[in-house]
Amino acid sequence: MSDAAARRRGGAAGVLSGLVRAREFGLVIAIGAVLLLLVSLGKTQVFFGAGNLESVLRQIALLGVFSLGEAVVIIAGGIDLSVGSLICFSGMGCALLLSHLAGDLDQTVPVPAWMVLTTLLATVALGALVGGFHTLLITRLRLPPFIATLSTLAGLRSGAELVTNSATVSVPYPNFTALAKGLTPLWFFIAAAVCVAVLMRATVTGRQIVALGGNEEAARLSGLKVNRLKLVAYGLSGALAGLGGVLYTAYLGQGDPRTGQAFELQAIAASVVGGCSLSGGQGTVAGTILGVTLLQVLLNGIGLVIHSNSTLWQGVVVGVVVVMAVAMNAARQRRIAAA
């Protein structure tokens, strides 16, 4: 029985049953379990300390912004492997543009706000354009999404290095780096999540993207404008990667061609853990947010608990969590199909 069917049974019991059956419920339980484990290991004060909590929320926001875009592409039945390289490329573009606009201004004092705003919007637009380029490759050249975005995974990082001759571009202007200080990235993430949630749940386009991911041929035969929907999905993923590029550049205080390595895998992992199916047609914004949260709470928790080779254990644990999430998702789908 589907979640919607459970809710239709009516009453508080039905709503509760629906909530428990929702795929996000398992993620909430998992996050709760990790937090309980931290508490039982005596890490309450450290984990919930202001400094650490701020750090965890910032990492959730930084990963979450571009994972949302990846999730939309996966729901649409595609994949975007270029996200990490696009963050690098757009981040370098962001640093170059801001540096160009600021000219010889003192780097230790704030630049005029319009410069920061212009840079932010131009970088997001650059990301969206790259997303549009992916759509062209997929719809006009008929390249599989894997290949189309694989080409830019390699090309964009090299492009970023060529444009800057492999050098970093320093942009430590206080009002620019403030974009990634404190909880500011969280507000960007919340704003992005609200926009994507509204798109996916409250608009026809969003429902059509889900339908496209479920069965592209059926969507085409139903008269949906498949190419336009792909443009929305890949354009959104590119734009959010562009926003990620801005936030990471602000976080580092410089454009750095080494940034974003394997970020696409983190985004895919967060989406899959959050309930997106790699075969398309399934996944939610709430699930993706919870997937990102679970991964970052786990990563942080490992760092706090394991004091030897913690960075290596992080990789192992994330791998196990992804496998478990996919296995549980598959089991759930089998149950639904059998019902």
The residues of the shown chain that bind other proteins, judged by CB under 8 A, are 46-47, 49, 51-52, 55, 59, 62, 93, 96-97, 99-100, 102-104, 125-126, 129-130, 132-133, 135-136, 139-140, 157-158, 161-170, 181, 227, 231, 248, 251-254, 256-262, 300, 303-304, 307-308, 310-312
Adjacent-strand bridge partners of 255: 169
Least separation, in Å, of the C-beta of 157 and other proteins?
Answer: 8
Tokens 């650059």 belong to residue: 126
Compute the chain's Rg from CA coordinates: 21
Tokens 């309450």 belong to residue: 44
Helix (H, G, I), strand (E, B) or coil at 170: strand
Half-sphere exposure of 76 (CA within 13 A, CB side): 33
Q: Considering the complex, state which of residue 17 and residue 168 has its C-beta at the smaller distance from other proteins.
A: 168
Least separation, in Å, of the C-beta of 48 and other proteins?
Answer: 11
Q: Considering the complex, state which of residue 259 and residue 277 has its C-beta at the smaller distance from other proteins.
A: 259
Query: Would you tell me how many other CB atoms lie within 10 Å of the CB of residue 327?
Result: 10
Least separation, in Å, of the C-beta of 120 and other proteins?
Answer: 15
Cα–Cα dist 126/235, whole Å: 10
Q: Considering the complex, state which of residue 166 and residue 279 has its C-beta at the smaller distance from other proteins.
A: 166
The widest CA-to-CA distance across the chain, in whole angstroms, is 67
Cα–Cα dist 98/109, whole Å: 14
Q: Considering the complex, state which of residue 314 and residue 329 has its C-beta at the smaller distance from other proteins.
A: 314
Least separation, in Å, of the C-beta of 338 and other proteins?
Answer: 42
Least separation, in Å, of the C-beta of 150 and other proteins?
Answer: 15
Cα–Cα dist 43/303, whole Å: 11
Least separation, in Å, of the C-beta of 203 and other proteins?
Answer: 21
Q: Considering the complex, state which of residue 21 and residue 230 has its C-beta at the smaller distance from other proteins.
A: 230
Which of these, 280, 275, 248, 273, lies nearest to 263 by C-alpha position?
Answer: 248
Q: Considering the complex, state which of residue 171 and residue 285 has its C-beta at the smaller distance from other proteins.
A: 171
* The two structure tokens encoding residue 148: 């189309």
